A and B are shown apart, each in its own frame.
Chain A
Amino acid sequence: MNDKQVGTKMDYIKADNISFSYDEPEIEEQHEVLKGVSLGIRKGEFVALLGHNGSGKSTIAKTFNAMLLPSGGKVYVDNMDTMDESVLYEIRRRVGLVLQNPDNQLVASIVEEDVAFGPENLGVPPADIRRRVDDALKAVEMYDYRLNAPYKLSGGQKQRIAIAGIIAMQPDCIVLDEPTAMLDPRGRTEVLNTIHKLNEEQGITIVLITHYMDEAVQADRVIVMDSGNILTEGTPQQVFSQVELLKKHQLDVPQATELIYRLKAGGFDLPDCALTIEECVAALEPLLNKASLGETYADH
């Protein structure tokens, strides 16, 4: 995959043949988490990053905002090198990172003061901070909760506050590292709707790391990682039509895709790939109609 053409001028984030290994002195054999990965994220794009635990997907996300520096290769954000310490805070402002556990990333005991934390660090004038905080809270639909204490909110609400805290820094891109893993279905929907809204209305680039296939289906592009390499990438259609490849690496496909795949394997005449329940229904409907028609004829 490394020789693949990446890094066009359009790329907002560009990872160029990066490798990474954690320093663990007690383990003699150094474990390489990333093995020469190259990829590009375009501005305004919604990218889903899939993979197992330990596939390197979280690690690569942390190299996007210079939380981790690659041990080999380079990462560029808007043509700025993440190795360059003079632009460190500029990079972190532009590429915000939202973590998995919403409880562990809120700093202040009042919602609006937590959202203000980022802009305060950037040295934004007080009146501007106020405006940014209000705008950010409205964008995630949590404005009415601005004076609440975070511990009284639900998981989905806390995660939206964490997202607001990033938006208040006016980033170009938000990287979310399994933001819904600890949430109930309702919280997941809330967070996903928020991310999609930000992507569509404000044009914020989204990199969503997840292992929920139904979340990946809604992305513009899906990148699948496996043991430190990119396994495959493309539109959800392209990626999930490779059912055998994904299965071989013990990765799931969306339920709808799985059903169509199995029916096809059973000899039914169906389209190549269905990602959502609606597509699946649309694909099965003619088949079912035909079958029931057949039955009606048989009855006569």
Chain B
Amino acid sequence: MVRDITLGQYFPGKSFIHRLDPRVKIVITFVYIVFIFVASNFEGLLTMSALILGVLLLSGVPLKQYFKSLKAILFVVIFTSVLNLFYGGGRVLWSWGFVQITSGGVSNAVFITIRIVSLILFSSVLTFTTSPTELTDALERIMKPLKLFHVKVHEIAMMMTIALRFVPTLLEETDKIMSAQKARGADMESGGLMQRIRGLIPVLIPLFVSSFRRAYDLAMAMECRCYHGGEGRTKMKVLHVSGLDAVAAALTLVVCAAVIFCGIYFPASLH
């Protein structure tokens, strides 16, 4: 049951999006997310949505998976859009007492919905098409300038790598401990919230103890393999910026320019 939790789900493939340099992908995703908020009218936002649709199709990841990731935040989307229905001016469409829905409210709600959905889809594209190791590797390189401010960039990336590596191992272990405690008569599924939380203690304590043992072992194994920090370390996979990345970057520029253009030449639709 715990195993259903998926983190950083990656779908291997050879699409245009998969082959982009992970650093470029991260930067582009970041730029797009910023521009989703820069877009202040429907024209701009729809340009971005059209682009997302194109990217989704290009990624070669089954569209079902994207719907799944949207389903996870369905509640947030409904909540914010319903809330937005009641704000904004314009023609009154429906009213009940002091509660009224206006045309401005409706367009606000639609706008926010598109915004959140685009946001989720963009970040999903990144995690679906980039392996966790590629991601940490790219982050390490992107953050490299921070070394000047004594940020331990290599150590942070190493921690992320190890954390990702041990997620499935620890989930499996949690499952095992839960079964073992249930076999000893532990009750984890009944009672109120407090009782359930208390019921988790017999799971958490063995999990912690074994994690420390694992940490000790892993540290030793790493030292046996000559690990001594990021100093003088090389990488098997060298990241290359290719023509594909240039194309992607150019496309990004065009879309961003379009969004800015829309912002200037069309009257803002939101108030």
Binding site for B on A (CB under 8 A): 65, 67, 89, 92-93, 96-97, 99, 101, 103-110, 112-113, 116-126, 129-130, 133, 147, 149-151, 162, 165-166, 169
Tell me whether B254 is interfacial, beta carbon within 8 Å. Answer: no
Tell me whether B103 is interfacial, beta carbon within 8 Å. Answer: no
Whether A92 pairs with B224 at a CB distance below 8 angstroms is yes
| B interface: dominant SS | helix
Q: Please, which residue of chain B has its CB at the minimum distance from the CB of A62?
A: B220
Whether A149 pairs with B168 at a CB distance below 8 angstroms is yes
Which of A110, A126, A130, A133 is in CB contact (< 8 Å) with B131?
A110
Contacts of B164 in A (CB 8 A): 109
Q: Please, which residue of chain A has its CB at the minimum distance from the CB of B238?
A: A126
Most buried by A among B132, B218, B225: B225
Whether A120 pairs with B165 at a CB distance below 8 angstroms is no
Tell me whether B161 is interfacial, beta carbon within 8 Å. Answer: yes
- A107-B162, A107-B165, A121-B227 given as contacts; is B235 within 8 A of A101 (CB)? no
- A89-B228, A121-B227 given as contacts; is B222 within 8 A of A107 (CB)? yes
Contacts of A96 in B (CB 8 A): 224-225
Bound CA span A263–B223, Å: 49
Tell me whether B6 is interfacial, beta carbon within 8 Å. Answer: no
Tell me whether B1 is interfacial, beta carbon within 8 Å. Answer: no
Bound CA span A147–B73, Å: 31
Q: Report the minimal beta-carbon distance from B169 to chain A, rounded to whole angstroms.
A: 6
Contacts of A113 in B (CB 8 A): 133, 236-237
Q: Please, which residue of chain B has its CB at the minimum distance from the CB of A118?
A: B225
Whether B225 pairs with A165 at a CB distance below 8 angstroms is yes
28 contacting pairs across A/B (C-beta < 8 A):
A65-B224, A89-B228, A92-B225, A93-B226, A104-B214, A105-B218, A105-B221, A107-B161, A107-B165, A107-B221, A107-B222, A108-B161, A110-B131, A112-B236, A117-B222, A117-B225, A119-B236, A120-B234, A120-B235, A121-B227, A121-B228, A124-B234, A126-B234, A129-B234, A133-B236, A149-B168, A151-B172, A165-B225
| A interface: dominant SS | helix
Q: Report the minimal beta-carbon distance from B206 to chain A, rounded to whole angstroms.
A: 16
Tell me whether B155 is interfacial, beta carbon within 8 Å. Answer: no
1/0 per residue, CB under 8 A from A, across B1-14: the answer is 00000000000100
Contacts of B168 in A (CB 8 A): 149, 151
Which of A92, A108, A116 is in CB contact (< 8 Å) with B226?
A92
Tell me whether B185 is interfacial, beta carbon within 8 Å. Answer: no
Bound CA span A39–B110, Å: 78
Most buried by B among A110, A120, A130: A120
Whether B165 pairs with A67 at a CB distance below 8 angstroms is no
Most buried by A among B131, B164, B234: B234
1/0 per residue, CB under 8 A from A, across B230-256: the answer is 001111111000000000000000000
Bound CA span A102–B164, Å: 17
Which of B165, B213, B225 is in CB contact (< 8 Å) with A169?
B225
Contacts of A99 in B (CB 8 A): 217, 220-221, 224
Contacts of B132 in A (CB 8 A): 109
Q: Report the minimal beta-carbon distance from B14 to chain A, rounded to whole angstroms.
A: 13
Contacts of B232 in A (CB 8 A): 123
Bound CA span A103–B12, Å: 24
Bound CA span A89–B235, Å: 18
Q: Report the minimal beta-carbon distance from B269 to chain A, rounded to whole angstroms.
A: 45
Most buried by A among B168, B214, B217, B226: B226
Q: Please, which residue of chain B has its CB at the minimum distance from the CB of A147?
A: B12
Whether B233 pairs with A106 at a CB distance below 8 angstroms is no
Which of B162, B220, B238 is in CB contact (< 8 Å) with A67?
B220
